[in-house]
Chains A and B, each alone.
Chain A
Amino acid sequence: MGMTIAEKIIAAAAGVEVVKPGDIHTVELDRLMSNDGTTHLTIDMYNKLKNPRIADVNKLVWIVDHNVPCDSVKTAASHKKMRDFAKEHNIQFYEGAGVCHQVMMENHVTSGELIFGADSHTCAYGAVGAFGTGVGCTDYLYAMVTGKSWLLVPETLKFHLTGKLKEGVYARDLILSIIGMIGANGANYMAMEFSGEGLKTLRMSDRICICNLCVEAGAKTALMEVDEIALDYLKEHGREPKHVFQSDADAHFAKVYEIDLATIKPIVAKPHFVDSVVDAKECVGTKIDQAFLGSCNNGRIEDLRVGAKLIQGKKVHPLVRFLVVPASAAVYRQALEEGIIDTFMEAGAIVMNPNCSVCWGSCQGVIGEGEVLVSTGTRNFKGRAGHKDSFVYLASAATVTASAIKGVIATADML
């Protein structure tokens, strides 16, 4: 019987011919990403090991992105620990270069790789056909020391895309709609695979956005069929694919969904669950205190362009704090060059340095008691963006920008 993309990557990493869902294999990892959310804990555990060692330092990438610039003495101490360790062991280290997943996509990830990231949204790497999955720091440490880990082969859900998104509808609307459809645990332990003619209509930024959010349906990883668009992206960034896998015609899928992109509408995920998805129109008029355009999910240049086009010549509502946070330093520089940063500044937005910002909710734009945020971030869990009694609505860059202008949740066609 044939294999899915996820199964093929695991088989290659385990050095076996065939794997099937439910098998547990020991796999060789290609890359290990960790950020300032948890690396200090990994280091603490590492230092307690009897024979501490790093299997292959070239596989490690450490990125300070959650609290940049540093916002408390506690964080400063964890950052220093991470920086000192990276310096001592010669680990590839980024600080202030952007949100980890975007930095990884720009600089490291390639097709067919198996990557552990100490962050749940590591599944983003599926956009170029890499098996990325989030792990805790114990798993991370084991992989760092041995270069290997064990992996349960997941079942695969297939999303066969057809058609094309309508104008004013974005990849973010698509993936939130999918999560709404299958539920927040609809893909638990599974891989979500995307293919079909519809995929060809989606740019890399769209694909990263879609894969990134699959963990919100519980997915272990997300994978897209590698095509010319993905290969061009790798080439542009100076990388060669490791493997280019397609699912076999007779591969087994737990379920196959047919999705016509033309049926997707602008949507909003209401507090406090990512799968509380409704037609954006249903939320129109909800008063907001803050809007956020950014994150590893929706802070790329394409997303900023959407916002900038809408806000050009207009002003942010005086009572709204509109945070615009490019996903990486490269995105920031590109946006500077294109005049996008100036457009947002002219409109009265708060343009921050690339970081996780309010999506992570511990610094840089947290919201207070009873406040409402409309966000392009990854999550709307209770308390995620600041005060435990606050409210987060997830929406597309267009809806977020329109809302920032109007002071209430609004869709772009209302401007």
Chain B
Amino acid sequence: MGLTIIEKIVRNNIGKEVRPGEIVTVNVDRVMIHDIFIPFVASKFEEMGFTKIWDPDKAVLIYDHLVPASQVDDTRHFRIGNEFVEKYDMKNIHRSDGICHQLMTEAGYVKPGNIVFGTDSHTTTYGCVGAFSSGIGYTEMASILGTGTLWIRVPETIKVNITGKLPENVMAKDIILKLIGDLGADGATYKALEFTGDTVENMTVASRMCMSNMAIEAGAKCALFSPDEKTAEYCGITLTEKEQDLVGDADAQYCRVIEYKAEEFVPVMACPSNVDNVKPVTELVGKNIDQVFIGSCTNGRLEDLMAAAEILKGKQVAPFVKLIVTPASRKIYQEATKNGTLAVLAEAGAIITHPSCGLCCGRTGGILTDGETVIATNNRNFLGRMGTSKVNIYLASPKTAAACAIEGKIVAP
């Protein structure tokens, strides 16, 4: 019987075939720790009695949530992180280069078929290059740093097949929001998502990233795209036979298959305060807004900034509305500088911040208060995520967000 992508990745990793439900111990190819949790990882690691990292080159430490520091104790995390890196001989550290999930693939830490864990729920992102990646807590991270292994339960797979050509104003974000709305916030819990069809084949790796990034919002353990030529180019590699084989077999067993026609997608928003509360933008038109946020590991990439710039070119952000743009990485920021995207956004009145998690993690970057409404391109609209519990957060694509910024109210792009 055939295998799904996740079943193949686990098989390749442990050297024997597996079936959903089996509990197995995998060898970890790479781990990612970010600034918020490094103090906890460090103390648990030592409390567990470990004296060295199983393979220091496989560990990556990234400062992103607290860059720049907004509270006086924040820099304590940097100090502890710097000490940890020094003590355990780690070389892979990024102190202000952008958001962890962007950097992991952009800087070449993740390759197709890898098994990667990170101390962040959006670690599912690396499925965009065909890696099995998932979020864990800091205690498990400490144990991986010591042992290089982790137990997992092989997940069942939901296949999402999308065919056809997307309408002009629809972005990958609209697809993943629609899917989360259809599945529900727990619709893929403990499961893997596998995306297939010519629509996703024609997508950039950046668009695939947006989708795998948000899979966790349906509870998914991981979200996989088969590696192809685009993946190879993005990763700067030639695909090996094993990597080329990371496709779901025709006779693989899926617990569910969902079919979408690309032409039927429309711009959507996730309405307050759940990611699965998804509605077409046309049903929400006219609502006044106070702020727009374009950024995050979901939608802070070059194509996202360019899509927004195209809409904002020669226009101005509405009076009393703030447009905050936070590129996902230093590289993206520089590319957007060089191709004039940032100049267009700045000219339109955008507040362009240094690459970091910014508003998405709710510690700085545009916190709001009671009664205010924000259109945001990030991944969560939970109660209190960006300020008080009376802030209304609508999640949308960069195109929709940019269009709303100009009008000062919800409009379709």
Q: So, do A and B actually touch in the complex, CB under 8 Å?
A: yes
Asked if A367 contacts B346 (CB within 8 A), the reply is no
Q: A70-B366, A368-B75, A386-B72 are in contact. List 19 more A-B contacts (CB 8 A).
A: A68-B351, A69-B322, A69-B324, A73-B387, A75-B367, A77-B369, A86-B320, A321-B96, A336-B343, A337-B343, A342-B334, A350-B67, A350-B354, A351-B333, A353-B354, A364-B364, A367-B69, A367-B72, A368-B69
The 0/1 profile, CB within 8 Å of B marked 1, for residues 316-353 of chain A is 00110101000001001100110001100110101111
Asked if A76 contacts B367 (CB within 8 A), the reply is yes
User: Is B176 in contact with chain A by the CB < 8 A criterion?
Assistant: no
Q: Given A368-B76, A371-B75, does the pair A336, B69 have CB atoms closer than 8 Å?
A: no
User: Is A369 in contact with chain B by the CB < 8 A criterion?
Assistant: yes
Give the Cβ gap from B9 to chain A, nearest Cβ, in Å. Answer: 35
The 0/1 profile, CB within 8 Å of B marked 1, for residues 59-85 of chain A is 000000000111111011101100100
Give the Cβ gap from B57 to chain A, nearest Cβ, in Å. Answer: 18
With a cutoff of 8 Å between Cβ atoms, the chain B residues found around residue A366 in the complex are 69-72, 74-75
With a cutoff of 8 Å between Cβ atoms, the chain A residues found around residue B334 in the complex are 342, 345-346
Q: Given A71-B364, A76-B387, does the pair A336, B72 have CB atoms closer than 8 Å?
A: no
Alpha-carbon distance between A367 and B78 when the two chains are bound, in angstroms = 11
Q: List 25 A-B contacts (CB under 8 A).
A: A69-B324, A69-B353, A69-B367, A70-B366, A71-B365, A76-B369, A76-B387, A80-B369, A319-B82, A336-B346, A345-B330, A348-B96, A350-B96, A351-B333, A352-B68, A358-B68, A364-B70, A365-B68, A366-B69, A367-B72, A368-B73, A368-B74, A368-B75, A371-B75, A386-B72
Give the Cβ gap from A162 to chain B, nearest Cβ, in Å. Answer: 41
Chain A residue with Cβ nearest B352: A353
With a cutoff of 8 Å between Cβ atoms, the chain B residues found around residue A321 in the complex are 68, 78, 95-96
Q: Given A321-B68, A332-B346, A369-B76, does the pair A345, B337 have CB atoms closer than 8 Å?
A: yes
Give the Cβ gap from B250 to chain A, nearest Cβ, in Å. Answer: 47
Give the Cβ gap from B38 to chain A, nearest Cβ, in Å. Answer: 14
With a cutoff of 8 Å between Cβ atoms, the chain A residues found around residue B322 in the complex are 69, 95-96
Alpha-carbon distance between A56 and B73 when the two chains are bound, in angstroms = 44
User: Is B106 in contact with chain A by the CB < 8 A criterion?
Assistant: no
Asked if A336 contacts B337 (CB within 8 A), the reply is yes
Q: Given A69-B364, A77-B369, A96-B322, does the pair A350, B346 have CB atoms closer than 8 Å?
A: no
User: Is A210 in contact with chain B by the CB < 8 A criterion?
Assistant: no
Alpha-carbon distance between A368 and B178 when the two chains are bound, in angstroms = 43
How many residues belonging to A are interface residues under a CB distance threshold of 8 Å? 48
User: Is B79 in contact with chain A by the CB < 8 A criterion?
Assistant: yes
The 0/1 profile, CB within 8 Å of B marked 1, for residues 363-389 of chain A is 111111101000000000000001100
With a cutoff of 8 Å between Cβ atoms, the chain A residues found around residue B71 in the complex are 366
User: Is B372 in contact with chain A by the CB < 8 A criterion?
Assistant: yes
Asked if B324 contacts A333 (CB within 8 A), the reply is no
The 0/1 profile, CB within 8 Å of A marked 1, for residues 45-89 of chain B is 000000000000000000000011111111110110010000000
Alpha-carbon distance between A115 and B239 when the two chains are bound, in angstroms = 67
Chain A residue with Cβ nearest B77: A368
Give the Cβ gap from B70 to chain A, nearest Cβ, in Å. Answer: 5
The 0/1 profile, CB within 8 Å of A marked 1, for residues 333-360 of chain B is 1100110001100110101111000110
Asked if A352 contacts B353 (CB within 8 A), the reply is yes
With a cutoff of 8 Å between Cβ atoms, the chain B residues found around residue A348 in the complex are 96, 330
Chain A 64-123 interface residues, beta-carbon cutoff 8 Å to B: 68-73, 75-77, 79-80, 83, 86-87, 93, 95-96
Alpha-carbon distance between A73 and B368 when the two chains are bound, in angstroms = 6
Asked if A342 contacts B351 (CB within 8 A), the reply is no
User: Is A173 in contact with chain B by the CB < 8 A criterion?
Assistant: no
B contact set with A: CB distance below 8 Å: 67-76, 78-79, 82, 95-96, 290, 320, 322, 324, 330, 333-334, 337-338, 342-343, 346-347, 349, 351-354, 358-359, 363-372, 387-388
Q: Given A80-B372, A366-B74, A368-B69, does the pair A70, B367 have CB atoms closer than 8 Å?
A: yes
User: Is A30 in contact with chain B by the CB < 8 A criterion?
Assistant: no
Asked if A333 contacts B347 (CB within 8 A), the reply is yes
Give the Cβ gap from B305 to chain A, nearest Cβ, in Å. Answer: 14
Interface of chain A, main secondary structure: mixed
A-B contact count (CB 8 A): 130
With a cutoff of 8 Å between Cβ atoms, the chain A residues found around residue B330 in the complex are 345, 348
Chain B residue with Cβ nearest A339: B337
The 0/1 profile, CB within 8 Å of B marked 1, for residues 208-241 of chain A is 0000000000000000000000000000000000
Alpha-carbon distance between A366 and B96 when the two chains are bound, in angstroms = 15
Alpha-carbon distance between A387 and B347 when the two chains are bound, in angstroms = 36
With a cutoff of 8 Å between Cβ atoms, the chain B residues found around residue A358 in the complex are 68
What are the 4 tightest A-B residue pairs by CB atom distance, in nearest-first order? A368-B75, A69-B366, A76-B369, A365-B68
Alpha-carbon distance between A73 and B337 when the two chains are bound, in angstroms = 32
Q: Given A71-B364, A289-B75, A369-B76, does the pair A350, B68 have CB atoms closer than 8 Å?
A: yes
With a cutoff of 8 Å between Cβ atoms, the chain A residues found around residue B72 in the complex are 366-369, 386-387
Interface centre among B358, B363, B387 (most CB of A within 10 A): B387
Give the Cβ gap from A332 to chain B, nearest Cβ, in Å. Answer: 6
Give the Cβ gap from B358 to chain A, nearest Cβ, in Å. Answer: 8
With a cutoff of 8 Å between Cβ atoms, the chain A residues found around residue B349 in the complex are 96, 329
Asked if B346 contacts A333 (CB within 8 A), the reply is yes
With a cutoff of 8 Å between Cβ atoms, the chain B residues found around residue A387 in the complex are 72-73
Give the Cβ gap from A214 to chain B, nearest Cβ, in Å. Answer: 29
Give the Cβ gap from A63 to chain B, nearest Cβ, in Å. Answer: 14
Chain B residue with Cβ nearest A355: B351
Chain A residue with Cβ nearest B350: A96
Interface centre among B334, B338, B342, B364 (most CB of A within 10 A): B364
Chain B residue with Cβ nearest A68: B351
With a cutoff of 8 Å between Cβ atoms, the chain A residues found around residue B324 in the complex are 69
Give the Cβ gap from B409 to chain A, nearest Cβ, in Å. Answer: 15
Chain A residue with Cβ nearest B325: A353
Give the Cβ gap from A362 to chain B, nearest Cβ, in Å. Answer: 9
Alpha-carbon distance between A73 and B372 when the two chains are bound, in angstroms = 12
Alpha-carbon distance between A75 and B388 when the two chains are bound, in angstroms = 11
Give the Cβ gap from B66 to chain A, nearest Cβ, in Å. Answer: 10
With a cutoff of 8 Å between Cβ atoms, the chain B residues found around residue A364 in the complex are 68, 70, 364
With a cutoff of 8 Å between Cβ atoms, the chain A residues found around residue B351 in the complex are 68-69, 96, 353
With a cutoff of 8 Å between Cβ atoms, the chain A residues found around residue B353 in the complex are 69, 352-353
With a cutoff of 8 Å between Cβ atoms, the chain A residues found around residue B338 in the complex are 342
Chain B residue with Cβ nearest A70: B367
Give the Cβ gap from A352 to chain B, nearest Cβ, in Å. Answer: 5
Give the Cβ gap from A297 to chain B, nearest Cβ, in Å. Answer: 19
With a cutoff of 8 Å between Cβ atoms, the chain A residues found around residue B364 in the complex are 69-72, 363-364
Alpha-carbon distance between A323 and B356 when the two chains are bound, in angstroms = 14
Alpha-carbon distance between A364 and B72 when the two chains are bound, in angstroms = 10
